[in-house]
Amino acid sequence: MNDFVTQCKDRASNAMEMFLRNLGHVPEGKLRWSPSPTAKCALQIAAHVAAFSGAFASILRAGAFPPTAEEFLAPIVEAMEGIETVEQAEAMLRQGIAETLAALDMVRPELIESSIETPIGVTPFVFFMTIPSVHLVLHTGQIDYLQTCWGDQEIYF
């Protein structure tokens, strides 16, 4: 297997575990707390990463981005709206990352060096190989920020 593929898989798995570890420290009473009316709460952030995890796998499997952003986003929005508990978010996230890891195993070597058309322009395919982990790490930071808002100053490795 390609070393880069192995790195992408390891990073996605590790990022998922880090996200879930931080999310696990959110008290039940704070899951729906938000610092402002337009900011996402921890449960909404968890639903977001869960729904996107499977969407990234679909791009990796197809070797292409859907023709429109709407076509890409519609199933994600639907999946997010169906999540009402942390357990649902975790199950969807684990499933999506499992699909991502399997899709990474199937990436053809020539795709790694290629670029694909997206609604915002031509994008290197490696972006889609690395975005599952980067996306999770960025949203782990959001969970960490929310925790500091209610006084939790612990660092959860």
Helices (H) and strands (E) in the chain, counts: 6, 2
Longest dimension (CA), the chain: 49
- Phi, psi of 107, rounded to the nearest 5 degrees: -65, 125
Helix (H) or strand (E) holding 57: helix 42-62
Q: What three-state secondary structure class fits 28?
A: helix
Query: How confident is the model over 15-40, as pLDDT tens digits?
Result: 999 999 999 999 999 999 999 999 99
pLDDT band with cut points at 50, 70 and 90 for residue 2 = confident
Query: How confident is the model over 83-97, as pLDDT tens digits?
Result: 999 999 999 999 999
What's the fold here for domain 3-149?
Four Helix Bundle (Hemerythrin (Met), subunit A) (1.20.120)
Domain residue ranges in the chain: 3-149
Query: How confident is the model over 124-157, as pLDDT tens digits?
Result: 999 999 999 999 999 999 999 999 999 998 887 6
* pLDDT at residue 1 in the model: 54
* pLDDT at residue 156 in the model: 77
Residue matched to tokens 């994008």: 123
